[in-house]
Amino acid sequence: MRRRISIFGATGSVGENTVALIEGAGGREMHEVVALTGGRNVARLAEQARALGAQIAVTAHEDALPDLRDALAGSGVEAAAGTAALLEAADRPADWTMSAIVGAAGLAPGYRSLAHGGVLALANKESVVAAGPAVLSEAARRKARIIPVDSEHSAIFQCLAGEPRAAVERIILTASGGPFRTWDAARIARATPAEAAAHPNWEMGQRISVDSASMFNKALEMIEARELFDVSPDQVEVVVHPQSIIHSMVGFADGAVMAHLGPSDMRGAIGYALNWPDRAPLPVERLDLVALARLDFEAPDTHRFPALRLAREALSLGGLAGAALNAAKEVALDHFLARHLPFPAMAAVVEAVLERMNAEDALMTRSPRAAIRLEDALSVDHLARIHAVEAANKLQGTRMNRAENA
């Protein structure tokens, strides 16, 4: 069947893997590529759009439109730019859409594409962290299928296939522990962005790599699991598994635990979503269990990695606390990457925002799940960003005063 496909965030790490898998599966001969979107990398976006014969290529940045137009000259591919153009691209009917923009910017295009009632391959975890109930109810209303692409959630989805949901006792998310797993707190406090982005097992975009080092990635995934699989917060557990071979597990009422194993290669989860409900051969390495010889597990350390504790707090606050946590984390991450704040200050910013919004903002905590709308999530996201900038500036000011007084 010739499917209509769109890829949001095509120039990123997940996007490139998706494009490669589609090219490997017959490319434009086998698929009708509707929209490809990117950000700053317009040269690569144009290359992809030409190779796949896309209808339209969209950059998120309006000032990049002339470059995109130049790069697409004579190709017959339409060029567009900006937030409204991203949404217009999402409105073009597609049977299979990859949501792989990084951050909350991916929320609205992914949400809009649910209207087609096809498959939404969801890499953009921020969508369900910020607005899970709204996204899931829209998917149900439009008869769209969300297939998780985050490797942990793809693993859980696969462990749950054919199993009675009522028998699910717990979800066990595995975490590699990131590059700082064995570092002491003093060393973590001096970590640079380059050190934080050097993930031991996975090759990913810079932002999710740093989130893995802080374990904010796992914090988001705890909330994502609670939303996607409709379990209570206390049914979501995290175990550190440094080899990243078990991608996650599901424990059932009879004590059985189903695990999904595979190499650390996102083409596994992306390919699963692309071929769902079938399975097709994928160009990923096969596991050699004898060569692996052992799999290790450790309890997570919430003192060195407070993100996990903050996720628990957000889960128990409920409502739109996930939207606030994610937005504050995104702002804190910008400050860390710009070297305005040290690594541990990211958690301090998120904590300050959650505390403040819990005290001041009724929308964040008092939204009953069923009543949460996309606009509510976007409002909480917006307010949390303002509070986070304030908290980050305050922390930065305190550091500078300390340095001057030293």
Residues of the shown chain interacting with ligand NDP in the complex, contacts defined by CB under 6 A: 9-15, 38-41, 60, 100-102, 105-106, 123-126, 150, 202, 204-205, 207-208, 266
Rg (CA), the chain: 21
Q: For residue 233, with 0-12 CB atoms within 10 Å meaning exposed, 13-18 middle and 19 or more buried, which class applies?
A: middle
Q: Where are the alpha helices (DSSP H) in 31-150?
A: 42-52, 65-72, 83-91, 107-113, 125-142
By beta-carbon proximity to ligand NDP, the closer residue of 41 and 302 is: 41
How many angstroms separate the most distant Cα atoms in the chain?
A: 69
CB of 75 to ligand NDP, least distance (A): 18
By beta-carbon proximity to ligand NDP, the closer residue of 13 and 158 is: 13
CB of 120 to ligand NDP, least distance (A): 13
Tell me the residue type at 342: P
Is 120 within 8 Å of 99 (Cβ atoms)? yes
By beta-carbon proximity to ligand NDP, the closer residue of 39 and 263 is: 39
CB of 366 to ligand NDP, least distance (A): 28
CB of 209 to ligand NDP, least distance (A): 8
By beta-carbon proximity to ligand NDP, the closer residue of 75 and 206 is: 206
Tell me the residue type at 358: N
By beta-carbon proximity to ligand NDP, the closer residue of 191 and 208 is: 208
By beta-carbon proximity to ligand NDP, the closer residue of 132 and 356 is: 132
State the distance between the two ends of the chain, measured CA to CA, in whole angstroms.
69
Ranked by CB distance to ligand NDP, the top (closest) residue is 12
CB of 354 to ligand NDP, least distance (A): 20
By beta-carbon proximity to ligand NDP, the closer residue of 71 and 101 is: 101
CB of 315 to ligand NDP, least distance (A): 19
By beta-carbon proximity to ligand NDP, the closer residue of 35 and 395 is: 35
Tell me the residue type at 314: A
CB of 213 to ligand NDP, least distance (A): 14
- From CA 380, how far away is CA 145, in angstroms rounded? 26
Is 129 within 8 Å of 326 (Cβ atoms)? yes
- From CA 113, how far away is CA 140, in angstroms rounded? 13
CB of 82 to ligand NDP, least distance (A): 10
The torsion region of residue 70 among left (phi > 0), alpha (psi -120 to 50) and beta comes to alpha
Is 32 within 8 Å of 56 (Cβ atoms)? no
By beta-carbon proximity to ligand NDP, the closer residue of 11 and 367 is: 11
CB of 187 to ligand NDP, least distance (A): 26
How far, in Å, are 15, 28, 111, 174, 358 from residue 259 at the CA level?
26, 36, 30, 10, 37
- From CA 158, how far away is CA 266, in angstroms rounded? 15
Sign of torsion over alpha carbons 112, 162, 164, 126: negative
